[in-house]
Amino acid sequence: MSENQEQQRAKALLKKYLLKQCNAREQEIVEAWYTGLVSQQDAVPVFTGKKERFAVRRSIHKTLKVALPPPAKARILRLYIPYAAVSALLLVLGASWYFYSSGAFIMPRKEILVLSPAGSRKEVTLADGTVVLMNSQTTLKVSAGFGEKLREVSLEGEAFFKVTKNPEKPFVIHSGRLNTRVLGTSFNISAYPEMERIKVSVSTGKVQVSEGKDHLLAAGMLADQTLSFYKKTGKHEIKTENTELIASWRSHKLYIDNASIEDIARQLEHYYGVEAELLKSTNLKNKYTIRFNNESMKGVLDILSALTRRKFSFQHGKITIK
């Protein structure tokens, strides 16, 4: 059997499983493969990188490469595989069209947690087609029942969203004390818990931001508008800025945006994936803005030393700021 035939066969089997049309033997095959894939914590796998997708594709083909018996009487499932997981497998196999069958998409039964570790970035595509590019040390939680009434996610860290338009089902991002609500647009949210502010930057479309459920901060932010919310004071400000520059981390560029020494230290941790230690607590109220391109770490630290009149250095796997 050719590679393409195997792929089509695997697609068809996973689709039958989602539609609850599998016979007993087919159910056993899918469930046995999935049981061997996921951890005992029952985490839903997220497949993002090319190597991951290739490995999963080969695993699917290897496991499903058996002669299926004639259809048998269906039985009750012993193992309930999250729809989002099997849907992710269909995406791996190239069956992204299945999410949009009859104008609907598959809703996860459980909350899905996606992590982007230190020093890396991760891109994920949600069930509605929304693309989320996650910065280093970022966590995205996709709510159970995503898309049933609302499309709700929670963000801790930083991410750029390209939201698929759906006027009937608003997309809502919970990030700390802020709720960002859109219908279909692209924007960046920086919401690291250790940073002094949460910042929403709009690239296209229209965005609504509120604090909690009732305190509306911005009814309709447009392209190149930003909202900065300061956690300690609860104050916010709306500006017109270069939002592409703010989100330049997507192209691996370091942009320090009106940041204190403490926030610079945290940003360096996110960018390089190493610890940054602030040794002297002086001039903490001063703010700095600077854009870097492809400078080496040493070059970046030397420039920051000159800009801030502090000493930035990297030794023994750690950045220190004196």
| Three-class SS state of 120 | coil
Please give the share of the chain, as a percent, with pLDDT higher than 90: 56
Higher-pLDDT residue of 32, 230? 230
pLDDT recorded at residue 80: 41
More confidently predicted of 25 and 50: 25
**Better-scored residue on pLDDT, 92 or 294:** 294
Mean of the per-residue pLDDT values of the chain: 79
Q: Is the pLDDT of residue 232 over 60?
A: yes
What interhelical angle do 50-64 and 3-18 show, nearest 10? 80
pLDDT of 13: 73
234 and 240 Cβ atoms separated by less than 8 Å: no
Label residue 249 left, alpha or beta by phi (over 0 means left) and psi (-120 to 50 means alpha): alpha
CB 168 within 8 A of CB 143: no
Please say if the pLDDT value at position 183 is more than 90.
no
The 10s digit of each residue's pLDDT in 147-164 is 888 999 999 999 999 999
Which residues are CB-neighbours of 113 under 8 A, at least 6 positions away? 43, 44, 139, 140, 141, 142
Q: Could you say which of 3.40.50.1000, 3.55.50.30, 3.40.50.300, 3.40.190.10 is the CATH number of the domain covering 253-321?
A: 3.55.50.30
Confidence of residue 76 (pLDDT cuts 50, 70, 90): very low
Cα–Cα distance, 209 to 206 (Å, whole number): 10
Rounded average pLDDT over 235-242: 96
Residue in this structure with the two tokens 């599998």, named with its chain if needed: 22
pTM equals 0.67
Which of 55-64, 155-164, 259-268 is the least confident region?
55-64
pLDDT of residue 4: 62
In angstroms, how far apart are the furthest CA atoms of the chain? 76
Which has the minimum average pLDDT: 23-32, 80-89, 91-100? 91-100
Would you list the domain boundaries of the chain? Answer: 3-103, 112-246, 253-321
Range with top average pLDDT, 17-31, 111-125, 200-214, 278-292: 200-214
Q: What is the pLDDT of residues 25-44, one digit of tens each?
A: 777 666 555 544 443 334 44
Tokens standing for residue 205: 């479309």
**Where is pLDDT greater, at 204 or 23?**
204
Q: Is the model's pLDDT at 105 over the cut of 50?
A: no
**CATH for 112-246?**
2.60.120.1440
* Number of other residues whose CB lies within 10 A of the CB of residue 252: 10
| Residue 46: per-residue pLDDT | 47
Q: Burial, 213: exposed, middle or buried (Cβ in 10 Å; 0-12, 13-18, 19+)?
A: exposed
Structure tokens at 226: 């930003």
Query: Would you call 43 exposed, middle or buried from its count of C-beta atoms within 10 A (0-12, 13-18, 19+)?
Result: middle
Quote the DSSP letter at residue 99: G
- How much is the pLDDT for 109? 61
* pLDDT for 108: 54
Q: What is the pLDDT of residues 301-317, one digit of tens each?
A: 999 999 999 999 999 99
- Alpha-carbon distance of 319 to 314, in angstroms, equals 4
pLDDT of residue 23: 79
Least confident of 73-87, 137-151, 153-167, 245-259: 73-87
Average pLDDT over residues 4-27: 68
pLDDT computed for residue 145 by the predictor: 85
